Amino acid sequence: HYPYVADYRIGGMKCANCAENVTRAFDSVKDTWATVDLSDGIAHVRSKRPLDEDAYRDAVKEAGYRFLRG
């Protein structure tokens, strides 16, 4: 159901609440489902639409974290 997949490195996460905030930031982008691995600082992103890195970057930045790509 989510044919588009990518991993993105996220900076600034220090705790489980940070990881949850980043997850919610990604999930706020339409048709996106994300899980975040705090220990690796990686967001695993799946989307029903082609990946929109600009939207992801904006959402993560607005949540207070750094979108560092893969």
pLDDT digits (tens, 9 = 90+) for 3-58: 999 999 999 999 999 999 999 999 999 999 999 999 999 999 999 999 999 999 99
pLDDT higher than 80, residue 70: no
Give the global pTM. Answer: 0.94
Strands (E), the chain: 4-11, 32-37, 42-47, 66-69
- Whole-number Å distance between alpha carbons of 46 and 62: 20
pLDDT of 69 reads 73
